[in-house]
Amino acid sequence: MARKAAIGARLGQGQIPMKILHDGDETLPDKKNDELIVVYTMGKVASSSVAEALGKADIDYCDVHTLAQKRYLDILRAHMNNPDFKKIPRHLMDSLNVWNAIKADRPIKIISLLREPVSRNTAAVFQNLPISLQDDEEEILERLRNYPANQLDRWFDEDFIPLTGLDVFSMDIDPSAGHFEFGNDEYDVLMLKVDLDDERKSELISQFVGHEVTVERSNEAKSKWYADIYSKLRTDRRVLSKEFLEACMSLKYFRTFYSLEERRAVAERYSYTGQIEE
């Protein structure tokens, strides 16, 4: 009850009055773990490979992108009303399962992933493209130009931090590290940079959940219908303008979790010559 009250106070809203069940049961299924493992990310950060690894290890998990109530309901409405989306995605269903666990005071461990913002933001645009645009390069370019680079900061400020109570932007952390662990009375959190090799991810996740987990690469863009145009456009100077790159480089997310050396390497990769805050 204390956790529910604390979360409600941070979010400033009531509980989501919704429920989703597994196979007619009113509780999440018993598997190897007593706690629920929540893969909680902003999306397009290779979370699918981690979620699949947990499933293969027979570990009870949910794979979600939003848990803050207002953002969740806004995104759900967008999926309901936008004809580009043909169905409600699994991650929105899983968000309700996580809230069931919160309401039941079930122990929760969170795994999150971090990806440098230029490739993450570009991938996010392509992930949500309707196939009807496969021959419309100009419309795809327009969507890329208009994508708000600050989505990563907003995800932490409006979703992760209010839900968990962990203000990672105010913590003294070593940005050169490949992973981070945070915790409070409500949650234990493991954050991994996607650049870590799969063997290291497997080792860290196995230690965190207490069971052997093997992570393998999945959901590669090269297997999607947009693979060719994605490869062509993601480094197109018309898309990756100085303004777009500057917005990505200035994110507090990027400055918090990535060292100056790492940020300079990303800038060089995308031929960005502007200032990089130390």
Per-residue pLDDT tens digits for 109-135: 999 999 999 999 998 998 888 888 888
As a residue count, the chain comes to: 278
| In-domain check, residue 278 | no
What does pTM read for this prediction? 0.86
Cα torsion angle, 26, 28, 30, 34, sign: negative
How far apart CA 220 and CA 224 sit, in angstroms, is 8
Residue 163 is which amino acid? L
Amino acid 85: pLDDT: 79
Element (H, E) at 218: none
| In-domain check, residue 90 | yes
Amino acid 20: pLDDT: 36
| In-domain check, residue 10 | yes
| In-domain check, residue 277 | no
| In-domain check, residue 181 | yes
DSSP 133: G
Residues of the chain with pLDDT under 70: 1-2, 4-33, 219-222, 234-235, 237-238
Residue from 73, 75, 68, 65 nearest 11 by CA: 68
Q: Which domain holds residue 240?
A: 2-269
State the total domains in the chain.
1
| In-domain check, residue 64 | yes
| In-domain check, residue 142 | yes
pLDDT tens, residue by residue, 169-190: 999 999 999 999 999 999 999 9
Task: Say if CB 53 and CB 216 are below 8 A apart.
Answer: yes
Task: Say if CB 90 and CB 97 are below 8 A apart.
Answer: no
Which residues have CB under 8 Å from 228's CB, separation 6+?
Answer: none
Amino acid 158: pLDDT: 96
Residue 143 is which amino acid? R
Amino acid 4: pLDDT: 60
Coil/strand/helix, residue 109: strand
